[in-house]
Amino acid sequence: MRLVRARQNEALDLLIWRKTGRTAAIVEAVIALNPGIGKHLLLPEGYPVRLPDAPPAPVRKLINIWD
């Protein structure tokens, strides 16, 4: 788990995208780790947000159109 700080008027999903490069299945975990964060539509500058240790991104199977 790591602590990050929000930029001025940053949305939670944008903060997560900026720090992890994705939002799938992470937004829910962040909300669970940060009680009361849901009351903010936009986070104030410097607002501390705990991020979980994200699992590695799923590997996508490459599809070749010539097969």
pLDDT tens for 4-23 read 999 999 999 999 999 998 88
Distance CA 9, CA 50 (A): 17
Over residues 27-55, mean pLDDT: 92
> Across residues 29-44, what is the average pLDDT?
93
In this prediction the pTM is 0.77
Q: How far apart are the C-alpha atoms of 19 and 51, rounded to whole Å?
A: 9
Cα(11)–Cα(1) distance, integer angstroms? 20
Average pLDDT across the chain, whole number: 89
Give me the domain span that covers residue 39.
2-51
Instruction: Please state the domain count of the chain.
Output: 1
Q: Residue 19 falls within a domain, yes or no?
A: yes
Q: Is the pLDDT of residue 60 over 80?
A: no
% of the chain residues with pLDDT over 90: 63
Residue 43 located in a structural domain: yes
